[in-house]
């Protein structure tokens, strides 16, 4: 039997083996943590060679801090971070609905609820802006915040007041030229245009509730269209215009903040 005491391992070898084991443990721990959460750069990368840092950054994804060819993390300077904060517009849009949607409702209620949500988004475009800002033109077209709300009322009338009922545009009092639905009269204000939109929507609901989803009207260009399709189309149209308005609002708020210094 070999007497281990006669062949003791040199102290240097013990130290080297312990160091290797510790390095492997640290690398394994970092990689395991990166699979379950996104650690900070200081925790995940400190004390590891460039190759290990590169593997960790690869696992963390595009959101991880960029590294140079030497593996050293590039941190933004204080001036660069401050400049980015000044340039980025503040998030002032009221887009969060705190009410839990009814995700198991009937088809009819789902359509009605989604249309109501998008109508509310259209009205929110005018929250917190001045009369001048609501009329401000930021694009080559006639699109303005106030014009979008006015056009949304026009769209409600075209589909629910004209197409569904069989009346003419002249009878309802809506223009034939879509551009006219964006044009603002001298006496149009945030209050007057918003109230007009609310009244138009209330009349749309009253007319629609008298019909089944399968009931059809005749559109001047598309021909027969049932109420179900009208609901879906109006949800899509108002959501699209609310998105247009969000972009205009961000530009307006950013310009206001820049002017304020």
Whether residue 178 is predicted with pLDDT greater than 60 in this model: the reply is yes
Indicate whether 229 pLDDT > 90: yes
Rounded percentage of the chain residues whose pLDDT exceeds 70: 62
132-156 mean pLDDT: 98
Q: Binning pLDDT at 50, 70 and 90, where does residue 21 land?
A: low
Lowest mean pLDDT among 32-46, 99-113, 138-152: 32-46
pLDDT at residue 29 in the model: 55
**Mean pLDDT of the residues in the chain:** 78
In this predicted model, which residue has the larger pLDDT, 47 or 126?
A: 126
More confident residue, 163 or 6: 163
Q: Which residue has the higher pLDDT, 75 or 254?
A: 254
Sorting pLDDT into bands at 50, 70 and 90, what band is 211?
very high
Handedness of CA 145, 148, 153, 156 (dihedral sign): negative
- Identify the pLDDT of residue 45: 41
The pLDDT, as a whole number, for residue 162 is 98
- Give me the residue spans of the domains in the chain: 10-77, 107-260
Q: Does residue 79 have a pLDDT over 90?
A: no
Grade residue 25 by pLDDT with cuts at 50, 70 and 90.
Answer: low
Q: Which two tokens stand for residue 225?
A: 């269209």
Confidence of residue 97 (pLDDT cuts 50, 70, 90): low
**What pLDDT sits at residue 199?**
98
24-48 average pLDDT score: 48
Please give the backbone phi and psi of residue 176, each rounded to the nearest 5 degrees, phi first.
-85, -30
Q: What is the pLDDT of residue 259?
A: 87
Question: Are 216 and 176 in contact, with CB atoms under 8 Å apart?
Answer: no
What is the dotted CATH code of the domain comprising 107-260?
A: 1.20.120.450
The proportion of the chain whose per-residue pLDDT surpasses 90, expressed as a percent, equals: 59
Return the pLDDT at 119.
98
pLDDT at 260: 85
């Amino acid at each position: 039997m070999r007497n281990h005491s006669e062949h003791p391992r040199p102290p240097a070898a013990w130290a080297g083996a312990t160091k290797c084991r510790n390095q492997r443990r640290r690398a394994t721990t970092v990689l395991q943590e990166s699979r379950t959460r996104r650690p900070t750069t200081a925790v995940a990368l400190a004390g590891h060679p460039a190759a290990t840092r590169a593997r960790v950054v690869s696992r963390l994804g595009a959101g991880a801090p960029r590294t140079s060819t030497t593996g050293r993390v590039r941190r933004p300077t204080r001036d660069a971070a401050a400049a980015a904060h000044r340039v980025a517009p503040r998030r002032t849009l009221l887009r969060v609905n705190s009410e839990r949607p009814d995700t198991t409702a009937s088809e009819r209620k789902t359509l009605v609820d989604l249309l109501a949500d998008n109508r509310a988004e259209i009205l929110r475009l005018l929250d917190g802006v001045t009369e001048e800002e609501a009329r401000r033109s930021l694009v080559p077209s006639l699109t303005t915040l106030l014009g979008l709300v006015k056009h949304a009322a026009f769209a409600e009338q075209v589909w629910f007041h004209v197409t569904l009922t069989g009346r003419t545009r002249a009878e309802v009092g809506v223009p034939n030229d879509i551009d006219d639905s964006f044009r603002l009269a001298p006496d149009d204000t945030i209050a007057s245009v918003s109230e007009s939109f609310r009244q138009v929507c209330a009349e749309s609901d009253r007319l629609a509730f008298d019909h089944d989803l399968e009931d059809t009207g005749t559109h001047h260009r598309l021909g027969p269209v049932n109420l179900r399709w009208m609901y879906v189309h109006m949800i899509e149209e108002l959501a699209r215009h609310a998105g247009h308005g969000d972009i205009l609002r961000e530009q307006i708020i950013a310009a206001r903040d820049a002017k304020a210094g």
